Amino acid sequence: MPPQRSTGTDSEAEHPRYAGQYLLEARLGSGGMGIVHLARSASGLRLAVKVVHAEFSQDPEFRGRFRQEVAAARRVSGAFTAPVVDADPDAERPWMATLFIPGPTLAEHVKRNGALSVDRLRHLMAGLAEALRDIHRAGVVHRDLKPSNVLLAEDGPKVIDFGISRPADSELRTETGKLIGTPPFMAPEQFSRPRHVGPAADVFALGSVIVHAATGSGPFDSDSPYLVAYQVVHDEPDLTGVPQELLDLVERCLAKEPEDRPTPDELMTALRSVSASYDTRAFIPEQRTGERKTAPPARDVTRRPRHERPEGSEAKTHAAVAKKGGRRWRLPAVSALAVLAAGAVAVGAFAWPGGTQTPASARKEVALPSRSGGFGPWDVKLTSAGAKTVEQPQCTYGAHRLYCVRPGALAVAVDPANGKVLWSRPDPGWRNSDVPGAPVVSGGLVQILSRGGQRLTALDPSTGKTRWDRDTTRYEGGVAHAGGVVLLTGHGSEVTALDAATGKRLWQHVLPGLSSPRFSSYGDGVAYAVSRDGSRTRVASVDPETGVVNWQRRLDQALNLVHAQAGALWFTSTDNQQYTDAVVRYDVADRTVKRVELPVPLVAAQAVVHGDTAYLLADGGTLVAVSTRTSAQLWRLETSVSWSSAPTLAGDRLYLSAADGRLLAVDTARGALLGQTRARLAGDRGSLISALPAPLTADGRVYATAPDGSLFAVDGRDPSGW
């Protein structure tokens, strides 16, 4: 039967026909923030599209929160979540489209079929541990892991919903009205120490989810949300009905102190030793559609009422046994403060790159013995004193120095031999909304684009003093460097070229045939201008000093330029779902195009090229090597990095940075992981990272930055010793 369309005047009646270009076919579910629809793309791909309720779409706070949800979901898109396909947080009705994953939520499955068997519980626990490991490595803390946010897919559980914004569901609020989670699945520190909530809170929620899957009820259940909050902070969990094999692990997950809980990696290791007969087969769930099915009777799991359990607090004595089902809570902040002896109730940020309970400022770095030529690894914090947030520095290498930008500082010069700060140039005009880009050494000067792309400043590399600067507001951030020239693209596709050494204008005109071109340069003294027109790509070779167009070609594909060398250009090709599906080589002299299809399309792949080989790193951590000479995929490696920087090549090594601050090294000949550094996560002052800087290489050393505000160096010739 066709899906039913709601009628009436409430928000459930608002059922738009399309979200962007996606046809909404049926309603999968509804929450306080919006409705999730089953939808199809133009090519027939099935999607789950979340559309914000009209009543909230005009609220700037909710729009901002939805943008955060989209950003977090994109960062963790991988094997254990629903990959984001498209989104428009600025639409009249903001929406986000993810791949549709057939299968019920864990809450639906338990309600319809009862508790899971012990084998299925082990599989669920292992899958959620893997998912949390991936999510935390991306620098995100979910904060709202619960049965309704776990999808039971054929290939394992998937964690969904990174928004934690459900006003109509009446989850716990602070005095400012921000939402922080669902009380029966929240960790104690979310109530008592909200500014120190990290990945361990998700592990606590995992323990509660497993109890629910094993018994049909949570470890802290009551008809009153106030009592639930008290029990989470003060009482021992009720684990009646949890299988003996998993009891110890669940108890460890539900430890009151975050440091007493296992990490996801420790959970995965422990689960392998729980039973020799550990069933790793996929959980095959019922299929999810837009229509309801008649549910079979649920099995009953007997649990003792709380008044029959061991003596505990008054709250435990008088709490009633909670009913099964999707109960929702409304708990005003003032009442919560009266109930919780532990103090302030919580802050509202749902995700931050802080994966540690130890503040970054409290950790000490120990220099390791030198492994090559007297060089010893070093680590220096570049966070400004008194900063309210920690931002990952953006750095470049040039003129035998490292130059970095960070909030509050226009630039910092660092000695690459020992990490000593040589000079630091403050930026009194810095604003919290500014996102600085990496410096560029051009024309013998350090070029800094600041103020959100509105000012270009050229600094003396020895002293940090300003040599020249220019207002770039009218160029809409279209600033590029080629050789000793700065190229600025403005309105009407007009290009202005400046001498990077003096700031003087060299030429200014419109490049014929190119609409809003974007420039790239690959060290060959040429600027390559690329513009896209639907499924066609125009590329031109431009002399940056004169503005003369050497040649121009039109390619009948949607391409992204990634490299140029020896008279050839390399591109990646994207399909209409924004998957990278091929590597394309274009030979300039004979105008031949060679397209090498990827065996499996990659999500938003970043590429680097050496010789005839292209290395592509996708969101989700898949790394592949493709030969444009033999048209073959040479190797494929799953790095387990959900969100990473662009890769960097140096000799026979490839380096990449993960969102948790790890630096990884890969052997380009074999596709083997050679080593990785420890994670360097931000403390409780962390914030979302908009882009991960790629590692830098020079003289056999590798330099990288991390979310804790540090810049560090390691020996590139010995990754196994990292």
Q: Which residues of 288-307 are buried (b: 16+ CB within 10 A; e: fewer)?
A: bebeeeeeeeeeeeebeebe
- Residue 294: both structure tokens together: 């008649």
Given the residues 86, 134, 144, 708, the one annotated as active site:
144
Q: How far apart are CA 350 and CA 33, in angstroms?
A: 15
Output phi, psi for 284, to 5 deg: -95, 105
Angstrom distance (rounded) from CA 445 to CA 458 = 6
Report d(CA 107, CA 123) in Å as an integer.
16
Beta bridge partner(s), residue 571: 561, 584
How far apart are the C-alpha atoms of 7 and 27, rounded to whole Å? 13
For the chain, count helices (H), then strands (E).
11, 40
- Print burial letters for 19-29: b (CB count within 10 Å at least 16), e (below 16): beebebbebbb
Q: Is the dihedral of CA 192, 194, 199, 204 positive or negative?
A: positive
- Would you state the torsion angle of the CA atoms of residues 288, 291, 293, 299, taken in this order, to the nearest 10 degrees? 50
> Which of 285, 281, 141 minimizes the C-alpha distance to 213?
285
**E strands of 41-129, at which residues?**
46-52, 84-88, 95-99
User: 675: Cβ–Cβ under 8 A, 6 or more apart, which residues?
Assistant: 664, 665, 718, 719, 720, 721, 722
Long-range Cβ pairs for the range 298-303 (8 Å, 24+): 298/110, 298/111, 298/112, 298/113, 298/114, 298/216, 298/324, 299/113, 299/114, 299/115, 300/114, 301/114, 301/115, 301/214, 301/215, 301/216, 301/217, 301/241, 302/241, 303/215, 303/217, 303/238, 303/240, 303/241
Contact call for residues 336 and 172 (beta carbons, < 8 A) = yes
In this structure, are residues 201 and 188 in contact, taking their beta carbons and an 8 Å threshold? Answer: no
Transcribe 272-309 into DSSP letters: HTT-TT---SPP-PPPP-SS--PPPPPPP-----GGGS
What pairs with residue 38 in β-bridges? 26, 48
Is 671 in a helix, a strand, or coil? coil
**At residue 70, what are phi and psi to the nearest 5 degrees?**
-60, -45
Establish whether 144 is a catalytic residue. yes
Instruction: State the catalytic residues.
Output: 144
